[in-house]
Amino acid sequence: MQSCLVKYIIFAALLFVESVMINRVLIRTKVLQMVYACHQNNNNENPAKAEKELFFSLEKTYDLYLYLLLLVSDIGYYAERRIDMARGKYLPSPEEQNPNLRFVNNAFLAQLRQNTTFKREINNRKLSWAPHEGLIKNIYDQILMAPFYIEYMQAESNSYEADKEVWRKIFKQIIQNNSYLEEVLEEKSIYWNDDLDIVLTFVLKTVKRFEQSNGANQALLPMYRDESDRQYALDLFRASIKNAEEYRSMITKAVQNWELERLALMDLIILQVALAEIMEIKDIPLSVSFNEYIDIAKSYSTEKSSLFINGTLDHIVRELKKENKLFKV
């Protein structure tokens, strides 16, 4: 499990990446996870099956993005039911008879529910929180007690921006790090174990991008920027598997005083995938590859791994350039 600090670093950094759901930061992580799984399961001899699994994993990540947006709608419906139940009491209080409807009439919530793409994708993928009303109740009860919610409900005036802002705070302060949600997601899909913090950044980006004037045609984040990102995922995975022995030979030479068996397995896999990108993906500068895989090491391996990854990659790249086997800058 990632530390809170690492989660925050990823969460903050990803707010500034391009406006697509499946970007190259996420693709690297998914490829790394799949190469690791192949190694653990001795599945290198069935790459077609592993490739199918990789793209299914990426598809499930987009499902999670839609599921988190669906929380907005379902929490709103739950709030409406709570208000109706309170009104229907035998002796409702004056507040229950005349409730504050600002939250259930939230303009961002209403716009999302009418969003053409959102409705189509939720229907086509058959996504629903219906079996998990306990989770919806858990989140809503926390919302009711949140100081930012109380301030929002008591404000003299309201605006579309305020309606968006209250949902941004719900995601950042309540939904993120919600242990109940994490348990439910683990039950729903094994592919979501490490995805929640990353996907939440894209949900926040989506909330920020909404414009009231766009109505039902407001664009959601597309799954890929274009076909090149999907091809990047395929090329990176194939090179990582196909050339595994070659890359491990390079690693062995670079860490002369160590046997591969003594290296942390995750460090070895990170180096393997990094070398695949450095040697086979021509349009990515060396500095980008170095930085990305050092960041991955900080998230997925030991405390000292980032320094080890950086030093080992630097040594290998210098040797490859000396031998005129690498011409990247």
pLDDT tens for residues 94-152?
Answer: 888 999 999 999 999 999 999 999 999 999 999 999 999 999 999 999 999 999 999 99
* 199-202 contact pairs (CB < 8 A, 24+): 199/21, 199/61, 199/64, 199/65, 199/68, 200/11, 200/68, 200/171, 200/172, 200/175, 200/176, 201/10, 201/11, 201/14, 201/15, 202/14, 202/21, 202/65
DSSP track, 177-228:
T-HHHHHHHHHH-GGGTTTHHHHHHHHHHHHHH--GGGGGGPPPPPS-SSHH
Q: Are residues 290 and 183 located together in one domain of the fold? A: no
- Does residue 229 belong to any structural domain of this protein? no
Q: Are residues 154 and 248 located together in one domain of the fold? A: no
Q: How many structural domains is the chain composed of? A: 2
The rounded mean pLDDT for the chain is 90
Q: Are residues 175 and 258 located together in one domain of the fold? A: no
Q: Are residues 267 and 171 located together in one domain of the fold? A: no
- Does residue 15 belong to any structural domain of this protein? no
Q: Are residues 174 and 310 located together in one domain of the fold? A: no
Instruction: Tell the burial category of 255 from Cβ atoms under 10 Å away from its Cβ (0-12, 13-18, 19+).
Output: buried
pLDDT band at 261 (very low <50, low <70, confident <90, very high): low
Query: Which percentage of the chain shows pLDDT scores above 70?
Result: 91
Q: What is the pLDDT of residues 150-203, one digit of tens each?
A: 999 999 999 999 999 999 999 999 999 899 999 999 999 988 878 998 899 999
Q: Are residues 74 and 180 located together in one domain of the fold? A: yes
pLDDT band at 19 (very low <50, low <70, confident <90, very high): low
- Does residue 185 belong to any structural domain of this protein? yes
Which residue has better confidence, 13 or 119?
A: 119
Q: What is the pLDDT of residues 59-98, one digit of tens each?
A: 999 999 999 999 999 999 999 999 999 998 888 898 889 9
- Does residue 43 belong to any structural domain of this protein? yes
Q: Are residues 52 and 191 located together in one domain of the fold? A: yes
In angstroms, the CA 247 to CA 238 distance is 13
Q: Are residues 316 and 266 located together in one domain of the fold? A: yes
Nearest residue to 64 via CA among 225, 255, 192: 192
Domain of 308 in residue numbering reads as 243-322
Least confident stretch, 55-64, 257-266, 281-290: 257-266
Helix (H, G, I), strand (E, B) or coil at 256: coil
- Does residue 228 belong to any structural domain of this protein? no
Q: Are residues 212 and 110 located together in one domain of the fold? A: yes
Neighbours of 35 (CB within 10 A): 24
Q: Could you tell me where the beta strands, DSSP code E, fall in 66-185?
A: none
- Please list, in sequence order, all residues whose beta carbon lies within 8 angstroms of the beta carbon of residue 206, skipping any fewer than 6 positions away: 69, 220, 221
- Looking up residue 291, the CATH number of its domain turns out to be 1.10.940.10
CA 277 to chain centre: 21
Neighbours of 51 (CB within 10 A): 16
pLDDT band at 226 (very low <50, low <70, confident <90, very high): confident
Q: Which of 217, 232, 262 is the last residue of a domain?
A: 217
Instruction: Tell the burial category of 65 from Cβ atoms under 10 Å away from its Cβ (0-12, 13-18, 19+).
Output: buried
- Does residue 9 belong to any structural domain of this protein? no
- Does residue 182 belong to any structural domain of this protein? yes
Q: Which of 217, 251, 266 is the last residue of a domain?
A: 217
Helix (H, G, I), strand (E, B) or coil at 129: coil
Q: Which of 201, 217, 233 is the last residue of a domain?
A: 217
Q: Are residues 200 and 80 located together in one domain of the fold? A: yes
DSSP track, 19-60:
S-SS-HHHHHHHHHHHHHHHHHTT-TT-HHHHHHHHHHHHHH
- Rounded to an integer, the average pLDDT of 302-313 is 90
**Radius of gyration, alpha carbons of the chain:** 23
In angstroms, the CA 273 to CA 6 distance is 21
Output the six-digit token pair for 206: 């989506």
| Percentage helix, strand, coil for the chain under 3-state DSSP, each rounded to 5 | 75, 0, 25
Q: Are residues 166 and 289 located together in one domain of the fold? A: no
Q: Are residues 42 and 182 located together in one domain of the fold? A: yes
pTM equals 0.87
- Does residue 125 belong to any structural domain of this protein? yes
